[in-house]
A = this chain, B = another copy of it.
Amino acid sequence: MWVRNCWYVIAWDHEISDNALFTRTVLDEPILVYRTEGSELVAMQDRCCHRHAPLSRGRREGDCVRCGYHGLKFAADGVCVEAPGVATIPVKARVRTYPVVAHNKWIFVWMGDPSRADRALLPDNFSCDHPDWRYKPGYVHYDTPYLLVCDNLLDFSHLSYVHEGTLGGSTAIAQAVPRIEKVPRGIRVTRHVPDVPPSAFWKSFQSFDRNVDRYFIYDFLLPGTLLMKSGGAPVGQAEGELRGGVQLHSCQTLTPETATTTHYFFQQSHRSSIADPAVTETIYRGLVTAFEEDREMITAQYLNTDPEARMLPLAMDAALVQYRRLLQEEVEREQRAPLSA
């Protein structure tokens, strides 16, 4: 169940290096991404229209790409401009291209009707590219459908259990009932957890002498992007004051690779100690460890799912139920209005 008329992250900016032919599969379509000599991004289907060989096994020639099987050459707009031994190139000799943009270090492709590609729909992943914030980029691959990972991110009660020894640390997180709100193309989740011990994660990069008040405020937006402010302060400290507290911003996004596999791009930015790379590294490592906890649980869940038995929705599932409904509505809207209208 995929929305098509939206931006999906296909790569971190640094993954698309000069002269290279980068390839990754999105919504079951292999997509080639490269930069022209003028640094313009190009995204085209990574499948030669002739015999379906991956173009990424070919080579760059100027701003074109040449197939490594029989030598067809395609311009950046996907049009075949040379075919060895072929006098007249047929008009059909072209490869689909996709709208592609770089936005705050994420490279996005538009998988639906190109005429509807709209930069206004890009998420506000500002901390991916902001002088006041530091992070190290992360990526993990899932052998599960992307919706199970969305579910995970829409219910932070799992922090108390999956991440008991890392991000969580207190059952109070699961006990705290979050506020769930509708926002344009998504859901906002706000959770305050007063007077709890700092997590092992927090203690890895900062010291505390008492309990903290924690908060998590995030939007979860189509097609599967989490933008979150989180942090907290020692109990009793005035709100908004940073001294001794933690202030993080996280950008995470899920891109379906296939119906059963998923790309997960993530970062967690910090605003204090930004001159200290050891803090950045520690936060990154902590996240990698915790996200591996998620991956093990979600993969086990996926392999254990009985398609004939229903899952039982509980109070904690409010956000994910709303999000799945929103997604369903969007998919149905797209099906009523065909892509190639």
Contacts and interface: CB of A to CB of B under 8 A. Distances in A.
Given A68-B297, A174-B71, A312 B93 contact: yes
A315 to B, nearest CB: 5
A341 interface: no
Mostly, the A contact residues are: loop
A316 B297 CA distance: 50
Contacts of A30: 304
A297 B174 contact: no
Contact of A85 (B47, B51, B90, B315): B315
Copies in the complex: 3
Given A51-B301, A85-B174, A314 B71 contact: no
Contacts of A121: none
A85 B177 CA distance: 6
Given A57-B300, A86-B314, A86-B316, 7 more contacts: A51-B151, A51-B311, A52-B309, A71-B157, A84-B175, A90-B312, A93-B314
Interface of A: 30, 46-47, 49-54, 57-58, 66-72, 83-87, 90, 92-93, 151, 155, 157-158, 160-162, 171, 174-177, 296-297, 300-301, 304-306, 309, 311-312, 314-316
